[in-house]
């Protein structure tokens, strides 16, 4: 590892180098897993020198975190496009679909990237999903009650944490479509429960 400041990939050639490093890392994760992943192997697969790699990334974990951040950003962009393009549709389902499809790779790869992202950015990762969920349901006419901080926490964290658990337990062989249906049911049922509680308290 080097103490030199990392370069900001503003130019097209530099961005292409970063893209090659991230692509090589993904390929190695998919083929061999995280245990054999080293910066030397990444540099070799990407076709760059180890010195060039360290100009952009501090270490292996920094590369993994960058991959996780890139995929998280893709999820946020997809969620935004869905909500803006089709606000009248089932926003809960489309948000869940976007989150489920946002992290690429095998279950093992997804866990590695998610762990790296959580390690690098902490709770801000879940906060982004929180904002997406709140935006998607804010204009729903059936929500005649205000979501408290704790209720909003349950709504956003339940989905993300359950999806992480499903990736961490591939031996359960969960069907993605069936899991999607269950997550939609979970969130919609919880929203209905909140509405019913609010009505009882108002009465």
Residue 124 burial (CB count, 10 A): 12
Radius of gyration of the chain (CA): 20
Residues of the chain with CATH 1.10.357: 65-202
**Which CATH code for domain 65-202?**
1.10.357
Pick the closest to residue 82 from 96, 69, 68, 103 (CA basis).
96
The CA distance from 142 to 195, in Å, is 8
Taking the C-alpha atoms of residue 196 and residue 75, their distance in angstroms, rounded to an integer, is 32
Determine the distance from the C-alpha atom of residue 14 to the mean position of all C-alpha atoms in its chain, rounded to a whole number: 25
Helices (H), the chain: 12-32, 39-46, 50-56, 60-85, 91-102, 107-121, 124-137, 149-168, 176-202
Per-residue pLDDT of the chain (203 residues; tens, 9 = 90+): 555 555 555 688 889 999 999 999 999 999 998 889 999 999 999 999 999 999 999 999 999 989 888 877 777 677 666 656 655 556 778 778 877 776 678 878 888 887 887 777 665 666 665 666 566 555 554 455 566 778 877 877 788 788 878 877 888 888 989 999 999 899 888 888 888 887 888 76
Report the CATH fold assignment for 12-58. Arc Repressor Mutant, subunit A (1.10.10)
Residue ranges, comma separated, of all CATH 1.10.10.60 domains in the chain are 12-58
Residue 122 vs residues 55, 142, 155: alpha-carbon distances, Å: 25, 33, 18
């Amino acid at each position: 590892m080097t103490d030199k400041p990392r370069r900001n990939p503003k130019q097209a050639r530099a961005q292409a180098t970063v893209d090659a490093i991230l692509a090589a890392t993904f390929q190695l994760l998919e083929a061999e897993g995280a245990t054999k992943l080293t910066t030397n192997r990444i540099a070799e697969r990407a076709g760059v020198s180890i010195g060039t790699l360290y100009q952009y990334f501090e270490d292996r974990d920094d590369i993994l975190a960058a991959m996780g951040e890139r995929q998280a950003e893709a999820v946020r962009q997809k969620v935004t496009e869905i909500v803006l393009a089709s606000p009248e549709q089932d926003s809960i389902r489309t948000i869940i679909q976007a989150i489920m499809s946002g992290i690429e790779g095998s279950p093992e790869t997804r866990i590695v990237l998610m762990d790296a992202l959580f390690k690098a950015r902490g709770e801000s990762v879940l906060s982004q999903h929180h904002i997406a969920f709140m935006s998607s349901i804010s204009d729903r006419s059936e929500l005649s009650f205000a979501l408290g901080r704790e209720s909003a926490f349950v709504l956003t964290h339940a989905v993300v944490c359950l999806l992480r658990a499903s990736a961490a337990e591939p031996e359960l062989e969960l069907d993605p479509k069936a899991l999607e249906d269950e997550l939609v049911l979970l969130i919609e049922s919880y929203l209905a429960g909140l509405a019913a509680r609010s009505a009882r308290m108002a009465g």
